[in-house]
Amino acid sequence: MRNPVAALLLGILIGAGGLYFMLPYDAAAVLSGRAEVAVSAGGAVPDVDRAGAGETLQRIKRRGFLHCGVSQGLAGFSSPDERGRWSGIDVDYCRAIAAAIFGDGEKVRFRPLSAKDRFTALQSGEVDILSRNTTWTMSRDTQLGFDFAGVIYYDGQAFMVRKDSGITNARQLAGATICTQTGTTTELNLADYFRGRGLEYRVLSFEKNDEAISAYDQGRCDGYTTDASGLYAERLKMQRPEDNIVLPEIISKEPLGPVVRQGDPQWADIARWTLSALLNAEELGITSENIEEMRESENPLVRRLLGAEGSYGASVGLGPDWVIDIVRAVGNYGEIFERNVGVDTPLGIERGLNALWTDGGVMYAPPIR
Amino acid sequence: MQKPVKRGSGMGISWYNPRVRSIAYQAGVLAAVIAVVWFFTATAQENLERLNISTGFGFLDTTAGFGIIQTLIPYTEQSSYGRAFLVGLLNTLSVAVIGIVLATMLGFVVGVARLSRNWLVAKIAAVYVEVMRNIPLLLQLFFWYFAVLRPLPGPADSIEALPGVFLSNRGLILPDPVLDAGAGLFFSALAVAIVAGYVLVRWARARQRATGRLFPALRVTAALIVVLPLLAWAVGGTPFHLEYATRGAFDFSGGVRLLPEFVALVLGLTLYTAAFIGEIVRAGIQSVDRGQAEAAAALGLKDSTTLRLVVVPQALRLIVPPLTSQILNLTKNSSLAVAIAYPDLVAVFAGTVLNQTGQAIEVIAITMAVYLTLSLATSLAMNWYNARIAFRER
């Protein structure tokens, strides 16, 4: 830089910029005209104000669609078909939220995430909600800055082995090599199970579930482990599904549920009550087929759920017809379950624990009133 | 910002004084760098607090709770995340060190072969270099892992290459050497032979320099290294015996196991990097003036002697700096291990540990610091070596 005037200007600019950033926060705020905020908050901008209750919903509305984090392909939970359309329980839940917000279950974009990347993606705001067969655990709830919205599927971890190995229960797996996906509770439960019984084992952890499956399928491992629902889903992908069996032991509790970032209570409420609405709709017999008739119902429970009485939608920033939109878009919880993983699907999973509490299951949603 | 600089300079305070200008620029740049770092740190801190995400390095003492398939130091599920970090680090280092040694050796062979007067040898080397350096490393790793090692038979039908050496899709199983009573004597004999050989070579070189008389030091050393330990064996009894792996219900137990993931990674890294090193070696050798080799030939030196004593020492000066960057590349490329499930630092620490603790910033910062330290340490060592072999005018 030959020109001394330009050099001088550059020097001053860089110096001033440096000074500005090095000033204490308040002073910088005063200088940049943010004085009122800083003063009124007593020198520090309060957290809640910045995280902004309702900020997530506003951002989604401005954007015009929901960003939903799903798996990279797990049949019955979230997997794309040959035309790229996503389906599954976790996918339908996101469509339900989109319907509650926009009245249109299609206003959602799915982002496939690996088990390893999913939490970072949610923390960084890349997705608005993580609906990705994620187990609700204390450490995830408390240390990662997340809130779980509830349980959408009660699962448990199990093992799959080759039929010709002659193994009939998990205790016979001593000394076996087990394939699994890295960054999951599965990896930890596996360790707990073998450690608790003093059994030897080797674990081979893959970054992608498909890689773990193919490693097992090609004989690199003696067994493969993940949630029982996942085992049935993954078995469909194998060269010869009928040559593999799922062992009867369930070695862990895996309550799977949608996750949101902490700090926006309204958004957490929307996530929680969308799930509750799906369950309550099933309990009250509201389906995607009879929803129009149900609008005329005299049952006060139905009237409250469908927005004919009270203003429950408005209390979470949604319209009065939010549940009607949800049920129109995806049906109730039972319909979602039967459509994606139920006995008439290739997965053929019984309701079991996931039946409503009135039918002997543990699905019990808090009432909407 | 400007004032103190001007006052402190003590000489002409004009902008036309290059000293003043240069100090001002440097101060400005330094301030900008500090400001940027400070800005990002503060933002991250603030956001983490706002999002209620745990921070700090306390997690390193927490129980890890997951298993790792290859551990060079004792590790169980009860070990801490810090221990898991060490396991990952050692796995990375073992791949890197073995890969560097093999790639350097193979690279030298390839580089020399490319210049061979034997048409076939030169062409084979050329094809090797062109194929290896033009296919992405990740694909090569996939090839070795998924196409070559994965289809091997299972442990029940494993190939027994040598007695006690089994090759299967669970890896290469070797017999485990277990030390016996004679081990102390055997290994001391080996050490003595190596030290004696070193002294002998130095003595022979000094004598040759002084009197010009040759002494077959290398051959004598080789003989020493073979004969002395054998004598010790005869006197002190067997130094070690081999413990063979036994076949269990699923897999082998005992023995030394090289995982297919490990083998694939070492193979891929070695073959890929060796192609680049080969080109570096070739360039280095070609940079030595032809007259040097011709002069050596005129003096009656053999081809191999010419290469060893005349060409390579001069070529090394050009080879070492780019060789350093290839070595650094190999170390960094070893992080592709994560794609084939080898439990290296990135897979174990920046993968599993990050996911379980959720402390992305700390974990990634530590991982980056490790690679930075490894790279800087390698550079330092190579620079030292480079300075030692640098051309010294006599």
8 A C-beta contact, residue A255 and residue A150: no
Chain A residue whose CA is closest to B171: A220
Chain B residue whose CA is closest to A190: B66
Q: Would the CB atoms of B77 and A14 count as touching at under 8 Å?
A: no
A234 domain residue, yes or no: yes
Taking the mean position of all CA atoms in its chain, how far away is CA B360?
A: 27
8 A C-beta contact, residue B113 and residue B127: no
How far CA A274 is from CA of A54, A95, A331, in Å, comes to 16, 10, 12
Query: What pLDDT does residue A344 have?
Result: 92
Instruction: Give the containing element (helix H, strand E) for A109.
Output: strand A108-112
Residue A248 sits in the same domain as residue A131: no
Q: Would the CB atoms of A195 and B357 count as touching at under 8 Å?
A: no
Residue A52 burial by Cβ neighbours in a 10 Å radius (0-12, 13-18, 19+)? middle
Residues in B touching A187 (Cβ below 8 Å): 66-67, 352
* Residue B171 neighbours by CB under 8 Å, 6+ apart: B257, B258, B259, B260, B262, B263
Query: What pLDDT does residue A25 have?
Result: 44
What is the rounded CA–CA span in Å between residue A136 and residue A253? 9
Residues in A touching B249 (Cβ below 8 Å): 172, 174-176
Q: ipTM more than 0.90?
A: no
What structural domains and CATH numbers belong to chain B? Answer: 2-51 (no CATH), 81-175+244-389 (1.10.3720.10)
A365 domain residue, yes or no: no
Residues in B touching A173 (Cβ below 8 Å): 250
CATH number at residue A265: 3.40.190.10
A208 domain residue, yes or no: yes
Instruction: Give the containing element (helix H, strand E) for B172.
Output: strand B171-174
Taking the mean position of all CA atoms in its chain, how far away is CA A167?
A: 34
End of a domain among A224, A252, A280? A252
Q: Would the CB atoms of A202 and B49 count as touching at under 8 Å?
A: no
Residues in B touching A201 (Cβ below 8 Å): 67
What is the rounded CA–CA span in Å between residue B304 and residue A50? 74
Please give, rounded to a whole number of angstroms, the shortest distance from the CA of B340 to a CA of chain A: 7
Comparing CA positions, the residue from A304, A246, A245 lying closest to residue A273 is A304
What is the rounded CA–CA span in Å between residue B192 and residue B190? 5
Q: Which of residues 291-350 of B touch A (CB under 8 A)?
A: 338-339, 341, 343, 347
Please give, rounded to a whole number of angstroms, the shortest distance from the CA of A56 to a CA of chain B: 13
Type of residue at B106:
L
Q: Which of residues 189-208 of B touch A (CB under 8 A)?
A: none
Residue A150 sits in the same domain as residue A162: no
Residue A246 sits in the same domain as residue A281: no
Residues in B touching A184 (Cβ below 8 Å): 355
A314: phi then psi, degrees, rounded to nearest 5:
-60, -30
Q: Would the CB atoms of B25 and A7 count as touching at under 8 Å?
A: yes
Q: Would the CB atoms of A15 and B1 count as touching at under 8 Å?
A: yes
Structural domain boundaries, residue A46: 22-51
Residue A174 sits in the same domain as residue A314: no
Residue A277 sits in the same domain as residue A167: no
The number of C-beta contacts closer than 8 angstroms across A and B is 167
A12 domain residue, yes or no: no
A5 domain residue, yes or no: no
Instruction: Give Rg (Cα) of chain A.
Output: 25
A364 domain residue, yes or no: no
Q: Which residues pair with A159 in a beta bridge?
A: A225
8 A C-beta contact, residue B364 and residue B354: yes
Chain A residue whose CA is closest to B54: A143
* Residue B257 neighbours by CB under 8 Å, 6+ apart: B170, B171, B172, B173, B174, B245
End of a domain among A10, A35, A51? A51
* Residue B97 neighbours by CB under 8 Å, 6+ apart: none
8 A C-beta contact, residue A36 and residue A79: no
Inform me whether the C-beta atom of residue B67 falls under 8 Å from chain A C-beta atoms. Answer: yes
8 A C-beta contact, residue A294 and residue A321: no
Q: Would the CB atoms of B358 and A145 count as touching at under 8 Å?
A: yes
What is the rounded CA–CA span in Å between residue B242 and residue B178? 6
**Angle between helices B312-333 and B81-114 in degrees, nearest 10:** 140
B217-233 burial code (b ≥16 CB/10 A, e <16): beeebeebbeebbeebe
Residues in A touching B12 (Cβ below 8 Å): none
Q: Would the CB atoms of A15 and B31 count as touching at under 8 Å?
A: yes
Query: What pLDDT does residue B187 have?
Result: 87
A216 domain residue, yes or no: yes
Type of residue at B203:
W
A15 domain residue, yes or no: no
Residue A196 sits in the same domain as residue A269: no
Inform me whether the C-beta atom of residue B23 falls under 8 Å from chain A C-beta atoms. Answer: no
- What is the rounded end-to-end Cα distance, in angstroms, of chain A? 72
Residue A142 sits in the same domain as residue A260: yes
Residue A327 sits in the same domain as residue A301: yes
**Average pLDDT over all residues of chain B:** 88
A294: phi then psi, degrees, rounded to nearest 5:
-60, -25
Nearest by CB to residue A8, choosing from B15, B27, B52, is: B15
Query: Residue A168's CB: how many other CB atoms inside 10 A?
Result: 11
Length, in residues, of chain A: 369
Token pair 């995340």 is found at B81
* Residue A239 neighbours by CB under 8 Å, 6+ apart: A217
How far CA A283 is from CA of A299, A343, A355, A368, in Å, comes to 13, 20, 10, 12
What does the block give as tokens for A283? 């309990």
What is the rounded CA–CA span in Å between residue B144 and residue B295? 46
Please give, rounded to a whole number of angstroms, the shortest distance from the CA of A1 to a CA of chain B: 10
* Residue A152 neighbours by CB under 8 Å, 6+ apart: A89, A90, A93, A131, A256, A257, A258, A275
Q: Would the CB atoms of A176 and B250 count as touching at under 8 Å?
A: yes
Residue A105 sits in the same domain as residue A34: no
Taking the mean position of all CA atoms in its chain, how far away is CA A106?
A: 18
B100-122 burial code (b ≥16 CB/10 A, e <16): bebbbebbbebbbbbeeeeeeee
Please give, rounded to a whole number of angstroms, the shortest distance from the CA of A71 to a CA of chain B: 15
End of a domain among A235, A252, A269? A252
Query: Residue A230's CB: how many other CB atoms inside 10 A?
Result: 29
Residue A279 sits in the same domain as residue A137: yes
Domain total of chain A: 3
Query: What pLDDT does residue A3 have?
Result: 60
Inform me whether the C-beta atom of residue B58 falls under 8 Å from chain A C-beta atoms. Answer: no
Nearest by CB to residue A191, choosing from B29, B39, B77, is: B77
- What is the rounded end-to-end Cα distance, in angstroms, of chain B? 51
* Residue A29 neighbours by CB under 8 Å, 6+ apart: A35, A37, A38
For the CA atoms of A95, A99, A101, A103, the dihedral, rounded to the nearest 10 degrees, stands at: 150
Q: Would the CB atoms of B1 and A188 count as touching at under 8 Å?
A: no
Pairing label, strands A79-80, A86-87:
antiparallel
What does the block give as tokens for A37? 């905020």
Taking the mean position of all CA atoms in its chain, how far away is CA B66?
A: 28
Query: What pLDDT does residue A20 have?
Result: 54
Inform me whether the C-beta atom of residue B360 falls under 8 Å from chain A C-beta atoms. Answer: yes
How far CA A289 is from CA of A286, A322, A342, in Å, comes to 8, 17, 18
Chain A residue whose CA is closest to B252: A175
Which stretches of chain B score pLDDT less than 50? 1-3, 5-9
Comparing CA positions, the residue from A75, A240, A102 lying closest to residue A160 is A240
Query: Residue B167's CB: how many other CB atoms inside 10 A?
Result: 19
Whole-model pTM: value is: 0.78
Residue A204 sits in the same domain as residue A147: no
Instruction: Give the containing element (helix H, strand E) for A36.
Output: helix A35-40
Sequential pLDDT tens for chain A (369 residues): 456 666 666 666 666 665 555 544 444 444 444 433 333 333 333 333 344 678 999 999 999 999 999 999 899 999 999 999 999 999 999 999 999 999 999 999 999 998 888 999 999 899 999 999 999 999 899 888 899 999 999 999 999 999 988 899 888 998 899 999 887 888 889 999 998 898 889 999 998 888 899 999 988 999 999 999 889 888 888 888 889 999 988 999 999 999 999 989 999 999 999 999 999 999 999 999 999 999 999 999 999 999 999 899 999 999 999 999 999 999 999 999 999 999 999 888 889 899 999 999 999 999 998
Nearest by CB to residue B1, choosing from A12, A145, A192, is: A12
Please give, rounded to a whole number of angstroms, the shortest distance from the CA of A197 to a CA of chain B: 13
Chain B residue whose CA is closest to A52: B50
Residue A166 sits in the same domain as residue A241: yes
Residue A141 burial by Cβ neighbours in a 10 Å radius (0-12, 13-18, 19+)? middle
